[in-house]
Structure 1
């Protein structure tokens, strides 16, 4: 009996530990499964702006220090138009010096060189230096925030309002994952000479070395930028771009529970994004809406593998009806202000061909148009324009039922 009691005594702590461990695992599973109201994400192909993945991409979110990407955009503009140079020095005010952390601890009366400010904003994400830049460019941070919002609208960031240059908490400072992706993409396209700054993991200032927070630059092969951010209201945010096999994609994750879980999820999104880009490599047609568009289907739907899906759709319809055209199912255009976009291409003729075939299949009155966006390379959007909104939506739904992705946009977008 004594031996049995002794064995039980020895086993009891182990049993208790096992029970505690099991409870902890259950608690962790529940926590991981709990919905995250701050979460949002988007993945795009930077070559053509195609959306490869989107989840809550247009839901309002707090940008936190992703805000500093716009501060940097305006700073790069000032350098490019010779308002400033990399060697220019920006004065530190009492207002800027009083900003809460993260900060460099600059003091009123000293100056910060513009190139140092760039490194500081990207790597250290210092709020005091963000205010220094704002005051240096606009005289005050409030005026600068207005300029940031104006620039956001000009770039197509229609759901973003800035209230400060740093991303410090402000209930009125909101954005979306899509808008942050647009901003990151425009930074790469408009200022390619300055983009390498976003790949820095450390810098030296006043004799001291500072290490950055962006662990993805070291933990994901091909990652070379851009920016992290965190405030309590936003959760852990990050915008990341990476290159694999000569193709670049860009992703934004917002609302991570921890920096580690955010980074792990970003790695998953980048992996799946590159896999999807590879699956589309057979043809030049882009199956997804571009980043500025509004999808009618889930962006996670499988990408068509056909080289020319609209051509195949027309051929199928004609084989069923002889040489007759498909029965018209959409009304004639009445000169409205909406469009159906059926692809984005690197070649104008290919875009025109795609739009012509879409018009032929739909037997839809209206004007075929090819619009272009300028950046590192031109992207041509194939559209049927001059439609009423209801016409455009019904037409896009008709294409969607046949497995053809499309997007409804306001004409001119």
Structure 2
């Protein structure tokens, strides 16, 4: 394969060594034909995704297009929230709109934060709900080290991913939506009187590069996911934590130069398998798109970092970024089924819900725990406090459970909300929480006590289910 890099990017043999010293650095190269990991460095360590987040925003947008829920010429209206997003952005005023296709192109080229939020609100009803859909989709794709909290990648300490997960997403975008994947090779596009150029400087500079996405925040460093096809060889590579756009590009070019010749010329017909560093452990990428569960976990409190660390504007490679140690993100918790609820955006789709209601495959804990297990873990209480909670006496008789959460405060809030929804059914019941551990994380079951018999408890559950509130009865 012939590599043709612009002089400004000239390859330095020391680039991989210097980049690897940065505490934020992570990289992976995956054979997109076979799923074999050709190179791995901190590939499973948690990192901030920055604008690589928009890859999942685009995945869900492509899904909505492919299902006919939206059209390329559908209008994406910018709310005050979307219009107020910090740069980089295309600057549509609140109440204004652009087409879905223009929104897609603005994400891919300018990495527009305002367009990402507007798309999220259009498809998900709100950005928070869309972020939960993003995390649910990540689980269905086997991206178990990723949690999304927004659609654009602006700083949020609770939003994180891994280089391996981003490689899976890059492969999934190409495999599952080949009809839209060509957008990622867009060098520039006309928007009004502007011509917006792509931030991805490897397009046209390295033979075979056809996308995918750049990203930068001060906490993440400079990130890049690249897809390359050389004849029958196909690879997806990820570099995260670069100290500048130029050094990130140099590192990516060096990886591609080294590992493309090692990629297989065969494959692509079966399940893609991305091997971990332990040969016995493998994670399969679904052969086709897995439907997004229509689960909307109750929002947990979000700790947002300073929004001044926004996407670097077009000259991001001119910004010098000091090495910053990344605080360990909170552990990932799988999504379980939530009570079926009417989505705020249902009327946009003729009264029909845009996504089917399904359970995520990796529900945690078991399905018997009604309600929702958040995708975002809360810190576990001290061991002594947990032991005290476990030994506390529980109400006797029968109880009904309506939810469980890693946050005791959230569990109690769910109890209050349920009591207000069905006051007649729960008039003589008393709400309480029960802690339990799962996978090293403490959860709190939200229950109502005060039912003398099994029948009375199940009758109450049946009444709650008519209100579309998940419920099951249990003897204390």
TM-score, normalised by the number of residues in structure 1: 0.62
1:295 corresponding residue in structure 2: 277
How far residue 206 of structure 1 moved from its aligned partner, in angstroms, is 1.4
1:128 corresponding residue in structure 2: 114
Are 1:108 and 2:90 matched, yes or no?
no
1:235 corresponding residue in structure 2: 221
SS in 2 for 1:117: helix
Q: Using the alignment, how far apart are the partners of 1:375 and 1:87 within structure 2?
A: 26
How far residue 135 of structure 1 moved from its aligned partner, in angstroms, is 0.5
SS in 1 for 2:179: coil
The verdict on how the C-alpha distance between 1:372 and 1:152 changes in structure 2, with shifts beyond 3 A counting, is closer
- Indicate conservation of the 8 Å contact 2:141/2:285, yes or no: no
Q: How does 1:171-186 map to 2 (within 5 A)?
A: 171-186=157-172
2:173 corresponding residue in structure 1: 187
Q: Using the alignment, how far apart are the partners of 1:209 and 1:61 within structure 2?
A: 32
The verdict on how the C-alpha distance between 1:171 and 1:372 changes in structure 2, with shifts beyond 3 A counting, is closer
1:83 corresponding residue in structure 2: 69
Q: How does 1:227-376 map to 2 (within 5 A)?
A: 227-277=213-263, 290-291=273-274, 293-296=275-278, 340=280, 373-375=286-288
Q: Using the alignment, how far apart are the partners of 2:154 and 2:89 within structure 1?
A: 12
Of structures 1 and 2, the larger Rg is shown by 1
1:350 corresponding residue in structure 2: none
1:61 corresponding residue in structure 2: 47
How far residue 56 of structure 1 moved from its aligned partner, in angstroms, is 0.3
From 163, 170, 195, the counterpart of 2:149: 163
Specify every segment of 5 or more residues in structure 1 that has no aligned partner in the other structure, as ranges.
1-27, 298-339, 345-370, 377-413
Q: Using the alignment, how far apart are the partners of 1:145 and 1:154 within structure 2?
A: 14
SS in 2 for 1:112: strand
After TM superposition, where is structure 1 displaced by more than 3 Å over at least 4 residues in a row?
31-34
Q: Deviations over 1:378-409 (max 9, x none)?
A: xxxxxxxxxxxxxxxxxxxxxxxxxxxxxxxx
Select the structure that is richer in helix: 1
How far residue 247 of structure 1 moved from its aligned partner, in angstroms, is 1.1
- Indicate conservation of the 8 Å contact 2:19/2:242, yes or no: no
1:224 corresponding residue in structure 2: 210
Q: Using the alignment, how far apart are the partners of 1:94 and 1:67 within structure 2?
A: 21
The verdict on how the C-alpha distance between 1:34 and 1:270 changes in structure 2, with shifts beyond 3 A counting, is closer
Q: Deviations over 1:265-289 (max 9, x none)?
A: 1011111111212xx66x98xxxx9
Q: Using the alignment, how far apart are the partners of 2:224 and 2:32 within structure 1?
A: 17
Q: Using the alignment, how far apart are the partners of 1:372 and 1:134 within structure 2?
A: 24
Task: Give the paired residue count.
Answer: 271
The verdict on how the C-alpha distance between 1:372 and 1:70 changes in structure 2, with shifts beyond 3 A counting, is closer
SS in 1 for 2:90: coil
Q: Using the alignment, how far apart are the partners of 1:57 and 1:160 within structure 2?
A: 12
How far residue 259 of structure 1 moved from its aligned partner, in angstroms, is 0.5
Q: Using the alignment, how far apart are the partners of 2:46 and 2:273 within structure 1?
A: 20
SS in 1 for 2:168: helix
The verdict on how the C-alpha distance between 1:52 and 1:84 changes in structure 2, with shifts beyond 3 A counting, is same
- Indicate conservation of the 8 Å contact 2:64/2:70, yes or no: yes
SS in 2 for 1:295: coil
TM-score, normalised by the number of residues in structure 2: 0.54
Q: Deviations over 1:67-120 (max 9, x none)?
A: 000000000111111110001001111110000000111101111100000100
Q: Using the alignment, how far apart are the partners of 1:341 and 1:126 within structure 2?
A: 37
Q: Using the alignment, how far apart are the partners of 1:372 and 1:133 within structure 2?
A: 26
Q: Using the alignment, how far apart are the partners of 1:255 and 1:169 within structure 2?
A: 14
The verdict on how the C-alpha distance between 1:151 and 1:373 changes in structure 2, with shifts beyond 3 A counting, is closer
Q: Using the alignment, how far apart are the partners of 2:286 and 2:122 within structure 1?
A: 31
How far residue 203 of structure 1 moved from its aligned partner, in angstroms, is 0.4
From 177, 186, 196, the counterpart of 1:200: 186
2:432 corresponding residue in structure 1: none
RMSD of aligned alpha carbons? 2.4
Q: Deviations over 1:22-53 (max 9, x none)?
A: xxxxxx99x94882110000101111111111
Q: Using the alignment, how far apart are the partners of 2:20 and 2:286 within structure 1?
A: 41
Q: Deviations over 1:276-316 (max 9, x none)?
A: 12xx66x98xxxx931x43237xxxxxxxxxxxxxxxxxxx
Q: Using the alignment, how far apart are the partners of 2:59 and 2:198 within structure 1?
A: 20
How far residue 246 of structure 1 moved from its aligned partner, in angstroms, is 2.3
